[in-house]
Amino acid sequence: MSRSCGHFAGMKTIQMLALACALSLPASCFGEEKGPPPVVAKGFQAFQQNGLLAALDIWLAGSARESDDNFQDLVVAKINRTQGLFGKMSGFETIRVVSLSPSTLRLYVAVKFEKGVGWMSFDCFKPDKDWIIVRFDFQTNANIILPPNILGGQ
């Protein structure tokens, strides 16, 4: 075996080892978390069991929007219109959780209704031991909520 072939084989081994190490790292090292913060899931559970107002109580607790009645009225009107068209909310599916920093993340979800789907994004912040939601948005048009890389674009 010539020296150049041995060098090539050694480099290939190092590259394979580096790839194996990278693939074994947790997703959070690449800006992705495994699942939504508990506050998001608890809000959706309350939404299913007790309605939108119960979800808002959970989602807005501890945030600057907690006592913002105008914001709550807008959210209630928008989601109630959607439920009028799509039927009752039946669950949610996490699309992606992106870690922006150790204390902040953005969550994208599909909100399932009986006759259609809505889209939400949540900006979450962990000032101490518990996550709070500092901003969220709901739309029936995925193009408004989801970034192009999730929708298959560049």
| 66: DSSP letter | T
**Three-state DSSP class for 86?**
helix
Residue 125, token pair as written in the block? 């912040």
User: Using an 8 Å Cβ cutoff, are 52 and 79 in contact?
Assistant: yes
Contacts of 99 (CB under 8 A, 6+ apart): 28, 31, 32, 33, 105
| AA identity, residue 52 | L
Maximum distance among all alpha carbons in the chain?
Answer: 77
| pTM score | 0.75
Q: For residues 133 and 126, what is the distance between their CA atoms, to the nearest angstrom?
A: 9
2 pLDDT higher than 90: no
pLDDT single digits (tens) 6-32: 554 554 444 433 333 333 334 344 444
pLDDT single digits (tens) 29-47: 444 446 789 999 999 999 9
| 125: DSSP letter | E
